[in-house]
Structure 1
Amino acid sequence: MAAWRADKDGLTVAIRVTPRSSRDAVLPPQEDWLPVKLRAPPVDGEANAALIRFLAKSLKLSRSEVELISGETARLKRVRLKGDPEQLAQALRQLIG
């Protein structure tokens, strides 16, 4: 799947965030990114913090295993998920549905 790339230490995921949504949710992949809706507003890093919390909780990771590596002020972001890449990819597929 083009929305994420695996290496020996985890996954790098391309995410497009839609803040101020009615619910927190991950939608099916689009082109080269994974759409994520968040209730949090894009103010003072609230949406970034909400994204990290949401992914950590949904994928059963600690917050320290989810790292925003680019796109801090943009809708398109790259997030690093630390752990077994096969297990993380499977967990993402299950989260997508």
Structure 2
Amino acid sequence: MWYDVKENEVELSIQARPGSSRNEIVGVFDDSLKVKVKAPAVEGAANKELVKFLAKRFRVPKSEVAIVAGATAKRKRVRLPRSPELMEWLEEMRE
């Protein structure tokens, strides 16, 4: 499963695509959520952009979004706090 809902947080398996023309969630492929980010994969810029994008998209503080695995890889594990926007979005993705 590409996500894991816990008591107060959600972990997402993400396949990041740095250097894209815009930030966007593409969809679920190969048991990971594919996310395009504008920033290049240089000196952590893509990771910072990914955290900023996910925080804004799901309306959570950037400080509470953490890359818990795969910081230097394209496949990452990202932890976010549960939010109404995130839970609603996950429900839509299941349909």
- Using the size of structure 2 for normalisation, the TM-score is 0.88
CA distance in 2, matches of 1:39, 1:70: 21
What displacement does 1:23 show? 0.9
Q: What is aligned with 2:26?
A: 27
- Using the size of structure 1 for normalisation, the TM-score is 0.86
Equivalent pair of 1:59/1:92 in contact (CA under 8 Å): no
Distance 1:94 1:47, change over 3 A: farther
Q: What is aligned with 1:7?
A: 6
Overall identity of the aligned pairs, in %: 35
Q: What is aligned with 1:53?
A: 52
* Offset from partner CA, 1:52-90 (integer Å, 9 cap, x none): 000000111110221110111000000001125x75232
CA distance in 2, matches of 1:53, 1:92: 19
Q: What is aligned with 2:75?
A: 76
Equivalent pair of 2:58/2:85 in contact (CA under 8 Å): no
Distance 1:24 1:69, change over 3 A: same
Q: What is aligned with 2:37?
A: 38
- Farther-moved stretch of structure 1 (59-68 vs 49-58): 59-68
RMSD of equivalent CA atoms: 1.9
CA distance in 2, matches of 1:45, 1:92: 27
Structure 1 segments of 4 or more deviating over 2 A? 86-89, 91-95
- Farther-moved stretch of structure 1 (86-95 vs 39-48): 86-95
Q: Which runs of 5+ in 1 are unaligned?
A: none
Q: Which runs of 5+ in 2 are unaligned?
A: none
What displacement does 1:30 show? 1.2
